[in-house]
Amino acid sequence: MTKLYGIPNCDTVKKARAALDARGIAYEFHDFKKLGVTETLLSGWLKQIGWQKLLKKTGPTWGKLPAEVKASIVDDASALALMLAQPNVIKRPVLERKGRVLATGFNETEYENLDI
């Protein structure tokens, strides 16, 4: 099963959902706000794509962090701790199938070329 992780009111998540729906791709939506995110799940993603691709450095949550906290994010472990404490810093959406990350964020061309 294909899973899309994010928060429902995020514009980028809405675009990704619309793109999947338009292609008739069935998916399960996992709402970070309601269902949370586990250390195991995040660790698996980090092993696949690294913290630089998974950490969202735009948006109000990152912007409000103290400079010393931002400067302390230097590897998967430090990013993992922040993402567990502040799930809004996870780049959204994360598209996954059978445990493999297919995409982070939304890129229309990338979604059009998904091999699902």
CATH of the domain at 58: 3.40.30.10
Q: How many domains does the chain have?
A: 1
- The dihedrals phi and psi of 26, each to the nearest 5 degrees, come to -75, 140
Mean pLDDT per 10-residue run, the chain (116 residues)?
Answer: 94 96 95 93 97 94 96 97 94 95 95 86
Instruction: Provide the pLDDT for residue 67.
Output: 96
Active site residue 104: no
pTM confidence score: 0.91
Alpha-carbon distance 27 to 4, whole Å? 7
Among 4, 10, 19, 42, the one annotated catalytic: 10
Task: Please report which helix (H) or strand (E) contains residue 103, including its range.
Answer: strand 100-104
Instruction: Identify the residue whose tokens are 């998904």.
Output: 114
Owning domain of residue 10:
2-112
What is the pLDDT at residue 114? 86
Q: By the 8 A CB rule, do 4 and 30 touch?
A: yes
Q: How many residues belong to the chain?
A: 116
